[in-house]
């Protein structure tokens, strides 16, 4: 079973927050130089950042590769494999988070696994995701 990453406006707002300093730099360059050619380069960089964020959002998903392993993946090459039996609990995030983040939205889940490890994720349907993890965990540990 595969769960897509939740999509909200969080990454879009980050992208717009990058636009504000870029706009200020563009205005400063135009005011100083009266030349638009550096602004084209800054616009290209801003668009590439937007495409990068889009790629992150489209490539983030959470899947079960067998009945005992959860794989959290983003950008097709960042993977985190978690044994389902090691998952201790889920917790709703309540603001900023420092740690591994494979999330594409502001409202996310923190998976506590092993003894001290945590991972921030944002499956599209959190309730169904938690229910599926608990069901598979019950199959492993009857």
Q: Tell me how many domains the chain contains.
A: 1
Q: What is the mean pLDDT of the chain?
A: 86
In contact, 3 and 123? CB cutoff 8 Å:
yes
Domain that holds residue 74: 1-142
Task: Give the pLDDT of residue 98.
Answer: 66
pLDDT digits (tens, 9 = 90+) for 31-48: 888 888 877 888 888 889
With cut-offs at 50, 70 and 90, classify the pLDDT of residue 129.
very high
Q: Which residues of 63-93 are buried (b: 16+ CB within 10 A; e: fewer)?
A: ebeeeeebebbbeeeeebebebeebeeeeeb
Task: Give the pLDDT of residue 133.
Answer: 92
Task: Give the pLDDT of residue 142.
Answer: 66
């Amino acid at each position: 079973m595969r769960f897509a990453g939740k999509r909200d406006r969080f990454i879009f707002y980050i992208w717009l927050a990058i636009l504000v300093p870029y706009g200020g730099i563009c205005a400063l360059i135009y005011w100083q130089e009266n030349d638009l050619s550096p602004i084209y380069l800054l616009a290209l960089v801003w668009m590439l950042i937007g495409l990068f964020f889009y790629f992150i959002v489209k490539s983030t998903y959470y899947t079960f590769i067998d009945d005992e392993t959860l794989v959290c993946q983003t950008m097709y090459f960042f993977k985190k494999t978690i044994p389902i039996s090691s998952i201790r609990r889920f917790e709703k995030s309540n603001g900023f988070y420092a740690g591994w983040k494979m999330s594409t939205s502001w409202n996310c889940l923190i998976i506590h696994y092993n003894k001290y490890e945590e991972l921030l994720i944002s499956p599209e349907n959190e309730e169904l995701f938690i229910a599926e993890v608990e069901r598979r965990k019950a199959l492993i540990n009857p």
